[in-house]
Amino acid sequence: MIAIVDYGVGNIFSLVSSFSRIGADIRLTGDPEEIRSAEKVILPGVGACRDAAEKLKDTGLGNVVKEQAAAGKPLLGICLGMQMLFDRSFEYGEYEGLGLIRGDVVSMEPVVPAGFHVPQIGWNALHFPKDKPKNELFRNTEEGDFVYFVHTYYGTNCDDSVIATTDYGAELTAAVADGNVYGVQFHPEKSGEVGLRILKAFCEL
């Protein structure tokens, strides 16, 4: 069973539907014991880091997620869920993340050239680092495959963990991994067949 952590921040319906399409055994839950009993964990999220950080803290689910990651359970953060994996976010202040991926989350506005709309909303290509093997999360994904992004902030100071980037006038982090912890900035549940193949690869880890 795969537990999708329900902490009040996330586009849950699309994500549940996507996992159902690939035949995954999923459970949307905010119950710590159900999360502990799962084989894998998904941390979704849309919106602002401050709200997500507060809800993870108030529900106690942030500690459960960290506990399960420390136990070696595969964990996938999606969009804001990925950003919550980092040490810190500087979205309208400074907020502490879960500390599962070393690095910071910052605005793309200073690095994206004039003429590029911020937030980035729409389809963009994935590129894989040439100096390391393709990560297993992308075993079914090809260089240049398009996925769907909606974000203003991105992960930085995380070169060792970067497993995919995207070019939006500047090279931006599209996905990270550190051991059993994975994060994607894009929305696989909105990325058609490419996204479904990525979710399927996670299920097979």
CB 79 within 8 A of CB 91: no
Which of 49, 79, 158, 203 is catalytic? The answer is 79
CA–CA separation, 166 vs 99, rounded Å? Answer: 23
Which of 91, 151, 189, 203 is catalytic? The answer is 189
CA–CA separation, 71 vs 146, rounded Å? Answer: 33
189 is catalytic: yes
203 is catalytic: no
40-43 vs 86-89, strand pairing mode: unpaired
CA–CA separation, 205 vs 201, rounded Å? Answer: 6
DSSP β-bridge partners for residue 173: 165
Which of 151, 158, 187, 203 is catalytic? The answer is 187
CB 38 within 8 A of CB 5: no
187 is catalytic: yes
Give me the active site residues, please: 79, 187, 189
